[in-house]
Structure 1
Amino acid sequence: MRVYHVSPAHAMRRNYMTLSYTGRVETVIIKLDMAVNITPVYLTAVVKTIEMHHETLDEVGPGDNVGFSIKGVDYRDIQRGFVCSDANNDPAQEVASFIAQIVVFNYPNQICQGFTPVIDCHTAHVACQFVELISKVCRRTGKVIEDTPKCLKAGESGIVKLVPTKPMCVEKFSDYPALGRFAIRDMAQNIGVGIVIDVEKRAPLPSRGTAGKSKR
């Protein structure tokens, strides 16, 4: 299960924090009292309420744009671009790097190893470095034209490896399309687009939060 477009609001009640979010459900189902992870900060919380179109619901499914509240985390730990996922079913993880196929638009410069543009993926806005140009491929067929090219120019397509400069959560396009397609931005404009074809995930850190703790 993945939820993105995380936009938090908060309200203090007694000695705990209840946070309200809006988001789009990508897969599976959100239910009341479900334990969820917030990635890439590895926070764990519990879903307390779910609302859609001003109607309170017990569960929602893929494609729904919903509001939901969680208990067990501090609103200051949550930022735009984070991903909420089922803590007990393939939870999302921070990526150390990812492999992508990109297409370069009408960009006056060349994309070479070391280039660090901003990647816009779902609601994340993170600078990522091109650490390796793996191959240049045909835009129409995907056939490899050249291995380890020195650069990619306008109109060309290639397979590349990128490393985020800040914690980021992306997924393979084949698994979660909305979390696996991105735009490449430089000089305040889109200079290319891409899809994620493989990810290298960081080893998960111990989750923080109150989900799973016994009630007092």
Structure 2
Amino acid sequence: AVNKMDTTKWSEDRFNEIVKETSTFIKKVGYNPKAVAFVPISGWHGDNMLEESSNMPWYKGWTKEIKSGVVKGKTLLDAIDAIEPPVRPSDKPLRLPLQDVYKIGGIGTVPVGRVETGT
């Protein structure tokens, strides 16, 4: 979401500039910018959050590519609903990747990690 569009007087040029800069950064860190929905919003006024805003008639909606195809929408809620949840390998054995090991006097060695599934 590109927030505070009300402070730029709903400027399409400013929105496009932010999308361009953010897309460049997203690409540099190894993600596909086409898989990201960019939505101009105003959290203060509620524009394009739950319902389409009349303050940005130039905004035609977002399109993003996901594994199952192309998804389109107009609001931030649509973009959130279009997020694909990660696949949880619940049929795989339990894993506990260790993050740290503490040696506590009188208690002993205490391994610390997070519980995950998978092989």
TM-score norm. by structure 2 comes to 0.26
Give the number of the structure whose residues are more often strand, by fraction.
1
Larger Rg: 2
Return the structure number with greater relative CO, CA threshold 8 A, min gap 6. 1
TM-score norm. by structure 1 comes to 0.18
